[in-house]
Structure 1
Amino acid sequence: MQRIEPVDLLNAYCEGAFPMGEEDGSISWYRPKMRGILPVADFHVPKRFERYLKQHPFEVRWNTAFGDVIRGCADRESTWITDTIMDTYEELHRLGFAHSAEVWRDGKLRGGVYGVSIGGAFFGESMFSREPQASKVALTYLQRRLHERGFLLHDTQWTTPHLAMFGGHEIPCVQYLEMLQRAILRKVTFM
């Protein structure tokens, strides 16, 4: 099994690159020309979902089941989250760089999102739901935490329709790298 050293992964993030596992177990590195971001200060919660949040029956926790969140994200028919990816991010979690937002109900993990933080930059990796709305709840609480903590950048790699409904959009890589350099120098913490 191929290994990614945590320091190499952190350095890659600081240079605007990220890994994805391939079907054959190898790792490919990406640095798209257009980069997906979610605005931290101007995060948009659709009104209908805001109403749902006020009545949602979920409990949100941080970093209590990181391994379960990453495995939940990998539990799909086709995934880029290989054993190498899981091992590396779990090591980053133990080192204090990788974090999870977890959505629980009745003592069971219903959804979540995980990513990596360096300074004031958060690099969102993946999310999952075991019931409707759970990943949206996790994402919304994550965004609120990033804003409260003073983060400048939430990198989503690419923009999906799911992220676009919350204000996610793409910016040119040059602009992204400028934002990234300012963000990683910011002295903030996730926890």
Structure 2
Amino acid sequence: MSDPQITPELLLRGYAAGIFPMAEGRDDPEIHWIDPRRRGVLPLDGFHISRSLRRRILTCGWDVRVDTDFAGVVQGCAEREETWINAEIFQLYTALFEAGFAHSVEVWEGEALVGGVYGVTLGAAFFGESMFSRRTDASKLALAYAVHRLRAGGFTLFDTQFITPHLASLGGVEIARAEYRRRLAEALEARARFAPEGYWPSPSDVAGSSAG
């Protein structure tokens, strides 16, 4: 189903109902609501940091920032040859960011944005939208920092929408729609903070937080 009149408020209601929007491509003006039979989630207590990723976190020298270039992260995610991010989606998520409901975790090499992930927050749920990488492991590093932050802030659900081999290698799993709705309802009743007071993790903090 599609609705050309999607607003930021309607978008948030969609997430709360368990659905999310996508376009067929960057040049497709229509947005479709998606309700997968099987839903991808990244268990916050089951995130897997490999030895190579741990080494990357500890030695890369990259700077990890939050919410300093949200638009740049969305643009980076939309750069791939095939993307579901059209102009309207870009504007909608920018509006959610300005309203405090969307956030980005960014990986910087000097003043160059080399990777990141962005998503939407409601209650104790984080709806991961997309990620990108311009350096090896940059998106994985962004996810590691995002998971660490969400755990520190009291989040209970990291929705990845679908599962890819990339996400599965990090501990992502698929659950049935009914189970997802149950976890979502619990998360929406709880409170969490994307910017916990006094939160300032070191690379060793993040590298040592793996479930295995």
Q: Distance in 2 between matches of 1:100 and 1:56?
A: 20
The residue that corresponds to 2:199 in the other structure is: none
Structure 2 residues not aligned, in runs of 5+: 196-212
Superposition RMSD in Å: 1.2
Query: Identity over aligned residues, as a percent?
Result: 47
What residue in structure 1 maps to residue 18 of structure 2? 16
Tell me if the contact between 2:56 and 2:137 (Cα under 8 Å) persists in the aligned partners: no
Specify the alignment match of 2:206 in structure 1: none
Task: Look up the match of 1:110.
Answer: 114
Q: How many residues align?
A: 191
Partner of residue 143, structure 2: 139
Q: Secondary structure at the match of 2:182?
A: helix
Moved more, 107-116 or 19-28: 19-28
Q: CA deviation at 1:189?
A: 1.6
CA-CA distance at 1:43 after TM superposition: 1.6
The one of 45, 48, 52 aligned to 2:52: 48
Q: Give the letter for the 1:94 counterpart.
A: E
- Structure 1 counterpart of 2:36: 32
Map of 1:162 onto structure 2: 166
- Residues 41, 160 of structure 2: 8 Å contact kept: yes
Which shifted more, 18-27 or 116-125? 18-27
Is 1:85 aligned to 2:89, yes or no?
Answer: yes
TM-score when normalising by structure 1: 0.97
Shift of 1:51: 2.1
Distance 1:187 1:136 in 2: 26
CA contact (8 A) 1:113 1:139 kept: yes
Structure 1 counterpart of 2:75, from 65, 71, 75: 71
Q: TM-score scaled by structure 2?
A: 0.87
Q: Secondary structure at the match of 2:185?
A: helix
Q: What is the letter of the counterpart of residue 46 of structure 1?
A: S
Name segments (4+ residues, structure 1) moved above 2 Å. none
Give the SS at the match of 2:90: helix
Secondary structure class of the residue paired with 1:174: helix
Equivalent of 1:6, from 5, 8, 13?
A: 8
**Is 1:153 the counterpart of 2:157 in the alignment?**
yes
Helix, strand or coil for the counterpart of 2:144? helix
The C-alpha deviation readout for 1:37-58, integer Å capped at 9, x for no partner, is 0001222212221122111221
Contact 1:112-1:127 within 8 A present in 2 as well: yes
2:98 is aligned with 1:94: yes
Q: 1:3 offset after TM fit, Å?
A: 4.4
Conserved in 2, the CA contact under 8 Å of 1:69 and 1:114? yes
Q: Determine whether 1:60 maps to 2:56.
A: no
